[in-house]
Amino acid sequence: MAGIYIHIPFCKRACHYCDFHFSTSFQKKDEMIGIIVKEILLQTGYLEGQGIGTIYFGGGTPSAVPPSDIKMIIDTIGQKFNVSADVEITLETNPDDIRAEALMAWSEIGINRLSIGIQAFQEDLLKAWNRSHTSGQAKDAIALSQQAGFINITADLIYGGQGLTDEDWIQNVQTLIDSGIPHISSYALTVEKGTALAHQISVGKVKAPEDEQSNRQYSILQSMLKLNGFEQYEVSNFSKPGLESKHNMSYWSGAHYLGIGPSAHSFNGVSRQWNIANNIKYIHSLDEDIIPFEKEMLTDEQRYNEIVMTGLRTSHGIDMNRVKGIDVRFEKYLNDVIHDLKLEEKLFKNEFGNWTLKPEYYFFADGIAAELFYSPG
């Protein structure tokens, strides 16, 4: 099954650490929604008739636009694509957008999974990161969502960074555990070029995140969630059994997906393409029935590297059948380089015969994957 990602490029305010594409001006909102619908109509052939198993609304902040806009997009997808009867439809939300009437409307239009961007429960951190909600709103958002009948709920937390003590971090993780939600995603605070956080660090207003702190708090996260029945199925994602994110799992397993909206990415197995990250240019181009994207045809080496990168981040491991499916030489290369670099102590062969990273090394997954990338000669 394939997936569809919809990028809604609007936010009420700019979080200081965020480098995703968005605008804090909603002036072009109605025009943008209409153009997103138009792109869907123009892209009906991209997935070549594959069934749609997941639809994901990201951004930006999709919950910041009216449910009627989301409905228009879902209806258009339903009319033009073969959508599974049990499709997973995720909506990214901010806590301050979650109200009883919105929850009812989202449920009625088919949203069946909520991703709540909480990040922290300390007021000073929320202000420092320029988040639009309070700690109280975050707790209320979870409770309201559950009362409205949403079961499949995930929340985001950020670890590392100035001001987040280990005691605060333990409190944040425990608060989500106690809430009863079945899925938690957690990410290290990172410094992205061009963000307000990067500027604050450059002028000495804020200290740069320290790897030692991030690694320590990541280990705390792993330990606490394991003790409370969560399974770590990906470096940054933990869930109760059976409630993993189907959409994100499809990315990591190599499924095809269509990205709609400015900056959205698409993948069809042999090429990758990405839309322009500029709202005005995106709208103007589609007004002329032209989808403004760049495209890259993937070489066998790039396909191998992607399988290694995504697989090493998951509990399923590097899918050796996919590796062999490119060319058997890549299977030999991978086994040889693991042996040559003596990485057997960090990797193991799982029940599927896939090379899998031991959980204690997940924090270093990207660096270890880079050591396994194809480098002939």
**Using alpha carbons only, what angle is made at residue 331 by residues 327 and 333, rounded to the nearest 5 degrees?**
105
Domain-embedded: residue 293: no
Do 206 and 354 sit in the same domain of this protein?
Answer: no
Contacts of 257 by beta carbon, 8 Å cutoff, 6+ apart: 2, 3, 4, 5, 250, 251, 266, 267
- Report helix angle 166-179 to 211-227, nearest 10: 30
pTM here? 0.97
Greatest alpha-carbon pair distance for the chain in Å reads 61
- H or E element, residue 358: none
Domain count, the chain: 2
**Same domain assignment for residues 234 and 309:** no
Neighbours of 299 (CB within 10 A): 11
CATH number for the domain that contains residue 108: 3.20.20.70
Q: Distance (Å, rounded) from C-alpha 1 to C-alpha 315?
A: 20
- C-alpha to C-alpha distance for 369 and 377, rounded to whole angstroms: 18
191, 220, 251: which is the final residue of a domain?
Answer: 251
In a domain, 257, yes or no: no
- Asked if residue 377 has pLDDT above 80, the reply is no
Three-state secondary-structure class, residue 278: coil
- Assess whether pLDDT exceeds 90 at residue 375: no
Domain end (from 191, 225, 251):
251
**pLDDT given at position 282:** 98
Q: How many CB atoms lie within 10 A of CB 99?
A: 14
Pair (231, 346) in one structural domain: no
Average pLDDT over residues 214-238: 98
pLDDT-derived band at 31, boundaries 50, 70, 90? very high
Residues 337 and 211 in one domain: no
pLDDT digits (tens, 9 = 90+) for 178-188: 999 999 999 99
Q: What is the mean pLDDT of the chain?
A: 97
Torsion angle (degrees, nearest 10) of CA 286, 75, 112, 45 = -60
Whether the pLDDT of residue 304 is over 90: the answer is yes
pLDDT tens for residues 311-339?
999 999 999 999 999 999 999 999 999 99
Distance CA 244, CA 222 (A): 16
Residues 97 and 236 grouped into a single domain: yes
- Euclidean distance between CA atoms 154 and 244, whole angstroms: 9
The reported pLDDT for the residue numbered 113 is 98
Would you state the pLDDT for residue 53? Answer: 98
Report yes or no on 241 lying in a domain. Answer: yes
Residues 56 and 186 in one domain: yes
Range of the domain at 226: 2-251
- Answer yes or no: do 165 and 69 share one domain: yes
Whether 232 maps to a domain, the answer reads yes
The answer to whether residue 10 sits within a structural domain is: yes
CB atoms within 10 A of CB 17: 23
DSSP string, 59-85: ES-GGGS-HHHHHHHHHHHHHHS-EEE
Same domain, 247 and 311: no
Query: Band of the pLDDT at 136, cuts 50, 70, 90?
Result: very high
Q: What does the pLDDT read at residue 260?
A: 98
Residue 291 lies in a domain: no
Q: Is the pLDDT of residue 51 over 80?
A: yes
Task: Please tell me whether residues 243 and 322 are part of one structural domain.
Answer: no
The reply to whether 268 falls in a domain is no
The two structure tokens encoding residue 61: 């902040």
Residues 6+ apart with CB under 8 A from 90: 54, 55, 56, 57, 111, 113, 114, 115, 245, 247
- Compute the distance between CA of residue 74 and CA of residue 110 in angstroms, rounded to an integer: 8
Q: Is 282 contained in some domain?
A: no
